[in-house]
């Protein structure tokens, strides 16, 4: 493939939780119940501070030296299993504007990838439930990287899979760690959050509020 063809490609790299789908309540309940079984009374503020991070980082912060690799694996697996149970039994819906933007970008020739700190099985369950998997050309999840956000690995890996240079990629994120990861990857970023203000290139409370040319302007 010639370099001119690569530069013609543009991509959007999507975070999943809190960006495409409102799954925060399921994550909170799953972490709260799992940590209670470990003798840790997790606060909602501690949970909020973990957004965008991988489980090994989260559990080390919450459990200290007790968070050995075996404990991280066991507790993390228990939490994710409970999370998926909530998602399957209680259902998930896309956040306002997200499904519409995914379809619109696909129709406009943009390549798209999921670039998430979540385990691959969580991503699969979410995409199946949302019925959006057909729109994504690649998925990069927690297992594919050695360091979580704000390290840029997950976004760089997604761009490599799509064969799109960083300068032609736009990240969509709901967490400060993800915004910083996009910056370190040399990518523009759309931040979306109903609860905090994020230092993204473009920030909105809802993806439904983005102007029609938002992505075009970021890579023009």
Same domain, 63 and 127: no
Same domain, 123 and 174: yes
- Give mean pLDDT, residues 137-153: 93
Q: What confidence tier does 53 reach under pLDDT thresholds 50, 70, 90?
A: confident
The CATH number linked to 83 is 1.10.150
- Give mean pLDDT, residues 2-8: 45
Same domain, 145 and 195: yes
pLDDT of residue 7 exceeding 50, the answer is no
Same domain, 97 and 85: no
State the Cα–Cα distance between residues 97 and 206, nearest whole angstrom: 7
Same domain, 12 and 98: yes
Cα–Cα distances in angstroms (integers) from residue 104 to residues 23, 32, 99, 189, in the given order: 23, 37, 9, 18
Same domain, 170 and 127: yes
Q: What confidence tier does 23 reach under pLDDT thresholds 50, 70, 90?
A: confident
- Which pLDDT belongs to residue 4? 36
Question: Of 90, 109, 139, which closes a domain?
Answer: 90
pLDDT above 90: percentage of residues in the chain: 78
Question: Of 67, 90, 113, which closes a domain?
Answer: 90
In degrees, rounded to 5, the angle at the alpha carbon of residue 57 between the alpha carbons of residues 76 and 88 is 35
Question: Of 61, 90, 119, which closes a domain?
Answer: 90
Same domain, 85 and 99: no
Same domain, 207 and 101: yes
Structure tokens at 105: 């970008």
Same domain, 118 and 82: no
Complete DSSP assignment for 140-205:
E-GGG-SS-TTSSHHHHHHHHHHT--GGGEEEEESSHHHHHHHHHTT-EEEEE-SSS----SEEES
Tell me the backbone φ, ψ of residue 84, rounded to 5 degrees.
-65, -35
pLDDT of residue 2 exceeding 70, the answer is no
Q: What confidence tier does 89 reach under pLDDT thresholds 50, 70, 90?
A: very high
Q: What confidence tier does 30 reach under pLDDT thresholds 50, 70, 90?
A: very high
Structure tokens at 31: 């972490």
pLDDT of residue 6 exceeding 50, the answer is no
State the Cα–Cα distance between residues 57 and 76, nearest whole angstrom: 11
- Supply the range of the domain harboring residue 29: 24-90
State the Cα–Cα distance between residues 5 and 141, nearest whole angstrom: 27
Check if 22 is active-site.
Answer: no
Domain count, the chain: 2
Same domain, 14 and 107: yes
Same domain, 108 and 179: yes
Check if 17 is active-site.
Answer: yes
Same domain, 103 and 143: yes
Structure tokens at 26: 């399921």
């Amino acid at each position: 493939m010639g370099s001119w063809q690569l530069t013609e490609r543009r991509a959007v790299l999507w975070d999943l939780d809190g960006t495409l789908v409102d799954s925060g309540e399921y994550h909170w309940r799953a972490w709260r119940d799992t940590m209670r079984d470990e003798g840790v009374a997790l606060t909602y503020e501690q949970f909020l501070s973990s957004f965008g991070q991988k489980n090994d980082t989260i559990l080390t912060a919450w459990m200290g030296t007790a968070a050995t690799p075996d404990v991280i694996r066991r507790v993390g697996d228990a939490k994710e299993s409970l999370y998926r149970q909530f998602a399957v039994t209680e259902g998930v819906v896309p956040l306002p504007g997200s499904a519409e933007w995914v379809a619109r970008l696909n129709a406009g020739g943009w390549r798209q990838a999921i670039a998430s700190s979540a385990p691959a099985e969580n991503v699969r369950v979410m995409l199946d439930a949302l019925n959006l998997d057909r729109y994504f050309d690649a998925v990069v999840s927690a297992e594919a990287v050695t360091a979580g956000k704000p390290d840029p690995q997950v976004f760089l890996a997604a761009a490599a899979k799509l064969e799109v240079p960083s300068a032609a990629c736009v990240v969509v994120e709901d967490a400060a760690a993800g915004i910083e990861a996009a910056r370190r990857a040399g990518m523009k970023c759309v931040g979306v959050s109903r609860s905090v203000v994020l230092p993204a290139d473009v920030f909105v409370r809802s993806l439904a509020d983005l102007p029609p040319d938002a992505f075009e302007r970021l890579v023009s």
